[in-house]
Structure 1
Amino acid sequence: MSEVRLRGVTAGYGREAVLDHVDLTVREGTTTAVLGGSGSGKTTLLRVISGFLRPGSGTVEVGGRTVAGPGVWVPPERRGVAYVRQEGALFPHLSVAGNIAFGLPWPRRRHRDRVLELLELVGLTADLADRRPDQLSGGQQQRVALARALAPRPELVLLDEPFSSLDAGLRVATREATARALRASGATALLVTHDQGEALSFADEVAILTLGRFRQVDRPTVVYREPVDAEVAEFLGDAVLLAGTAADGLVDCRLGTLPVGGPVPSGEVQVMVRPEQITLTETGTGQLDATVRAVTYFGHDAVVELDLANDAAHHPLRARVIGLHPPTPGDRVGVSVVGSVRAFPRGRTAAGTDLPVAEAS
C-alpha cells in the first residue's frame, strides 16, 4: 500500500497544457475516482503518475518516494504502479493463467498458486485458468486484466475507464467485483471515469476535474450534497437551479422559503435542489400545488416534469420519484421539498464562467 501525492503538477503535449498546477492526495489503501469529461485531463493525469509522460513542473510521489520532479525521474517499470486500460489489453495468445502470471518476479513453480488466489479474489472460478481471452465475456476479460495488475502486488493500481466498454449489466457486476478485489488486496487505487454514478459508488473520494484543474475533492456524499458551485452541482448529477434571495440561513424561491445548508451568501443567489428532494403528495397537502406535464419512466424511478400553480411563466420543474406508482401527465399533485438546499452567489463560477440565472434548468 502507498499514498500518492501530486503537488503543483503541470503537463501537456507540445505547447498544449492539459494539467494546470494540480494538487491531489490519494490516501494509502483507499480508492479515489477522478471524474471529468472528454479533454479534462483524466488520462494525462494517469500517464504522469505511471511515468509515461513527464510533467512540465511539480512533483509526483508514490509511497513517500519522489518519482517525478525537479532533477528526479523514475521510469515506469520501477514505480511499482499497475495500469488497467479500458479495453483490458490481454495477450490473445496466452491463457488466462498465462496473462495473470505474465511478469511475475518469483519462480514459475509458484505462479499457479498466485493465479488461483487472484481468480478467487476477482470473483472468477478456477476452471477459467486455461481458457483463452476470446473464450471469455467482456466482464470476465476485465477481471482478468485486474488480476494481472494485482499479481505482483503493486503499490498503486491505476484504472483508465475500465468498465466503459461493457454493457449495463456487466458494467455494474464487474465494477462491484473490482471494488471488492481492491479492498481485499489493500491496494491504493485511482480510477478515472466520465460516469458520475460510477465515481460516486466506487470510490472513497471523488475528485472533480475540469479544464485541467481539480474543482472539488471530497467524499462522495459531500461532493454530491455540498458542491462548491452550480457548475459542479450540474456536472455531478441532475440539479434543479432556481433564482432566489437568501438571508439568515433561509432562501426564498419558487419552491417557497427553504433552509440552506452550508455558508449562505446574503442577497440574490442561485438555489440548487436535487430532484429527489422534491416529493409529490395529493394536491392540497404539499407546500405548493402543481400539474404533471410529463413523466420519464426508468423502472426503479421516474423523472416528473411539473408546472407549479404559482408560476405564471410556466417554467418546468423536475422531481425524481420511485417508480412503483408514478403519476401520469395531467395529474394534480402537491409539492414539498425535503431537507436543506444549497445556495450559490450570482456571478461567476470557480472556472471563471458566468452562472446562468434562469428560473429553472
Structure 2
Amino acid sequence: MSDVEVRGLRTGYGSTPVLHDIDLLVRSGTTTAVLGDSGSGKSTLLKAIAGFLVPLAGSVLIDGQVAADGKTFVAPEKRGIGYVRQDGGLFPHLSVAGNIAFGLPFPRRKHRGRVLELLEIVGLPTELADRRPDQLSGGQQQRVALARALALSPTVVLLDEPFSALDTALREATREATAQALRETGATALLVTHDQPEALSFADEVAVLRDGRFRQVAPPRTVYGSPVDPHVATFLGEAMILPGTPSQGKVHCRLGDLTVAGFMPSGACEVMVRPEQVQVSPAGTGAVDAVVESCVYYGHDALMNLRIGDSDTVKARVVGADSMEPGEHVALTVRGPVRVFAAQD
C-alpha cells in the first residue's frame, strides 16, 4: 500500500494548464473520488499521476518517493500503478485469461492460477477465463479490466470513470464488486467521476474539482452536509439556496426560523436546505403553509415543488407513498440544522 500525493501540481496539454497548483493526499489503503463536471480536469489528474503527462510545475509522489517534479520523472511502467479506463481497454483478440495475464512477468505456466485468483477477487466465475471480451456483458468486461489492473499487485489503482457506460443495475453491482476487490487487495485507489451518488457511496474522501482547482476535499458526509460554498452544495445533489437573515441565534428565511450548524454571519446570508430536510404535514401543523405545484414520482421517493405565498417555491423530497397531487394544501417544517453562507455580492 502507498500514499499518493500531489503538491502544487500544474499540468495540462502543451503549454495550456488544465490543473492549477492543486494539492491532494490519498492515504495508503483508502479510496478518494474526484468529482467534477466534464472538462474540469479529472482525467488530466489521473494521467499526471500515472505518468502519461509531465507536470508543468509541482510534484507527484508515490509512497513518499518523487515520481515527477522539475528534476525527476519516473516512467509509467515503473510507478506500480494499475489503470482502469472508461471503456475497459480489453484486447478483443485475447481471452479473458489472456487479457488478465497480459504483462505478467513470471513463467506462463503460473499465469492460470493467478488469473483464477483474480477472477474470484473481482467476483466473476472462473469458467469465464476462456471467453472472449465480446462474449461478456459490459459489467463483466469492466471487472476483467479491473482484474488486469490488479494482476501485477499494484500499490495504487486509478479508475477513470469505469462505470459510466453501464446501465443502472450493472453499474451498482460492478461498483460494489470493485470496492470489495480494492478492500481485499488493500490498494490505494483514486476514482474520477461526474456521478455524485457514485462518489459519495464509493469513497472514503470526496474531492470536488472545479475549473482545475479543488473546492473541497473531505469525507462524503462532510462534503454533502457541510459544503464550503453554494457551488459545492448544489453540485452534490439537490439543494435550495435561500436568502436569509440572522434572527435571535437562528436564521430566518422563507421556510421559517431555522437552527444553524457552524458559521453564522452577522448580516444578510444564504441558507442551504436539502429537499429531504423539508417535512410535509397537513396544512396548519408546520412552520409555514404551502401548496403543492407539481410532483415527480420516482417510486422509492418523490420530489415535490411547493409554493409559499404568491411566488416563492421550494422543494421537498418525501417517501414515494407520501407523494401528493398538485393543488393540495400542506405545511412545511425543516428538520435539523442548516448550513449558512455569507451573502454573495
TM-score by length of 2: 0.98
Secondary structure of 2:222's aligned partner: helix
Secondary structure of 2:252's aligned partner: strand
CA deviation string 1:45-75 (max 9, x = no partner): 0110000000001010011110001211001
Q: CA deviation at 1:14?
A: 2.1
Q: Distance in 1 between matches of 2:48 and 2:246?
A: 43
Secondary structure of 2:197's aligned partner: helix
- Compared with structure 1, are the counterparts of its residues 249 and 114 closer, same or farther at alpha carbon in structure 2 (3 Å cutoff)? farther
- What are the equivalent positions in structure 2 for 1:317-336 lying under 5 Å apart? 317-336=314-333
Q: Please state if 1:112 is matched with 2:112.
A: yes
Secondary structure of 2:88's aligned partner: coil
Residue 122 of structure 2 is matched in structure 1 by: 122
Q: Contact 2:160 / 2:191 at 8 angstroms: preserved in 1?
A: yes
Q: Distance in 1 between matches of 2:295 and 2:12?
A: 45
The one-letter amino acid paired with 2:326 is P
Residue 153 of structure 2 is matched in structure 1 by: 153
Residue 47 of structure 2 is matched in structure 1 by: 47
- What are the equivalent positions in structure 2 for 1:296-315 lying under 5 Å apart? 296-308=296-308, 311-312=309-310, 314-315=311-312
Q: Distance in 2 between matches of 1:248 and 1:222?
A: 26
Which residue, 335, 339, 349 being the options, matches 2:336?
339
Q: Contact 2:247 / 2:257 at 8 angstroms: preserved in 1?
A: no
Q: Contact 1:247 / 1:267 at 8 angstroms: preserved in 2?
A: no
Q: Contact 1:10 / 1:20 at 8 angstroms: preserved in 2?
A: yes
Q: Distance in 2 between matches of 1:142 and 1:336?
A: 45
**What RMSD in Å do the two structures reach over aligned CA positions?**
1.0
The one-letter amino acid paired with 1:318 is K
Residue 353 of structure 1 is matched in structure 2 by: none
Q: Contact 1:247 / 1:266 at 8 angstroms: preserved in 2?
A: no
Q: CA deviation at 1:247?
A: 5.0
CA deviation string 1:138-179 (max 9, x = no partner): 000000000000111001000000000111111111111111
Q: Contact 1:40 / 1:210 at 8 angstroms: preserved in 2?
A: yes
The one-letter amino acid paired with 2:320 is G
Q: CA deviation at 1:324?
A: 2.0
Residue 355 of structure 1 is matched in structure 2 by: none
- Compared with structure 1, are the counterparts of its residues 27 and 248 closer, same or farther at alpha carbon in structure 2 (3 Å cutoff)? farther
Q: Distance in 2 between matches of 1:323 and 1:67?
A: 51
Q: CA deviation at 1:304?
A: 0.2
Q: CA deviation at 1:6?
A: 0.5
Residue 211 of structure 2 is matched in structure 1 by: 211
Residue 33 of structure 1 is matched in structure 2 by: 33
TM-score by length of 1: 0.94
Q: Contact 2:35 / 2:207 at 8 angstroms: preserved in 1?
A: yes
Q: CA deviation at 1:81?
A: 0.7
- What are the equivalent positions in structure 2 for 1:1-361 lying under 5 Å apart? 1-246=1-246, 249-308=249-308, 311-312=309-310, 314-347=311-344
Q: Distance in 2 between matches of 1:248 and 1:170?
A: 51
Q: Distance in 2 between matches of 1:57 and 1:248?
A: 49
**Identity across aligned pairs (percent)?**
62
Q: Number of aligned pairs?
A: 345
Q: Distance in 2 between matches of 1:85 and 1:63?
A: 23
**Structure 1 consecutive aligned stretches of length 4 or more whose deviation exceeds 4 Å:** none
Q: Distance in 2 between matches of 1:274 and 1:182?
A: 32
Moved more, 265-274 or 243-252: 243-252
Q: Contact 1:247 / 1:264 at 8 angstroms: preserved in 2?
A: no
Secondary structure of 2:325's aligned partner: coil
Q: CA deviation at 1:317?
A: 0.7
The one-letter amino acid paired with 1:118 is L
Q: Contact 1:86 / 1:160 at 8 angstroms: preserved in 2?
A: yes
Q: Contact 1:95 / 1:129 at 8 angstroms: preserved in 2?
A: yes
Flag structure 2 segments of 5+ consecutive residues without an equivalent: none
Q: CA deviation at 1:249?
A: 4.1
Q: Contact 2:281 / 2:330 at 8 angstroms: preserved in 1?
A: yes
Q: Distance in 1 between matches of 2:81 and 2:23?
A: 19
Q: Distance in 2 between matches of 1:332 and 1:315?
A: 15
Flag structure 1 segments of 5+ consecutive residues without an equivalent: 349-361
Q: Distance in 1 between matches of 2:266 and 2:339?
A: 13
Q: CA deviation at 1:110?
A: 1.8
